[in-house]
Chains A and B, each alone.
Chain A
Amino acid sequence: MIRCYFFDDLGQELVEHEVDWNWDRSMKEQRKEAPGFLSKGLANWEVPGRSGFLNPYLQLFISIVLTAAAQVFLKLGVDSQSGLPWYTLSNLFSFWVLAGVLAMLMSLLSWLYALKSVPLVVAFNLAATNHIMVAIGSWIFLGEEISIRRWVGISLIALGAGFIARPLARVEEKI
Chain B
Amino acid sequence: MTLFLFCLIVFYASCSVAGQLFFKRAMSEQVKSPRARRLLDLAAGVLAMTLGFCTWLALLHRFDLSFLYPFEGLERVLLALAACLFLREKMTKDLWIGVSLICLGTIFVAAS
Contact = CB atoms under 8 A, between A and B. Distances in A.
Interface of A: 71-72, 74-75, 78, 81-82, 86-87, 91-92, 97, 131, 134-135, 137-139, 142, 144, 146-147, 149-150, 152-168, 170-172, 174-175
Q: How big is chain B's contact interface, by range?
A: 35 or more
Given A163-B94, A163-B101, A91 B73 contact: no
B108 A174 contact: no
Given A164-B94, A168-B80, A138 B62 contact: no
Contacts, number: 146
A78 B54 CA distance: 11
Contacts of A156: 101-102, 104-105, 108
Contacts of B104: 153, 156, 160
B73 A131 contact: yes
Interface of B: 21, 24-25, 28, 54, 56-58, 60-62, 64-67, 69-70, 72-73, 76-77, 79-80, 83, 87, 89, 92, 94-95, 97-112
Contact of B57 (A82, A97, A174): A97
27 contacts: A75-B65, A86-B61, A134-B65, A138-B66, A142-B65, A144-B64, A149-B111, A150-B108, A153-B70, A153-B112, A154-B70, A155-B105, A156-B104, A157-B101, A157-B105, A160-B98, A160-B99, A160-B102, A160-B103, A163-B98, A163-B101, A164-B77, A167-B83, A168-B79, A171-B87, A175-B25, A175-B87
Contacts of B99: 160, 164
B112 A75 contact: no
B95 A134 contact: no
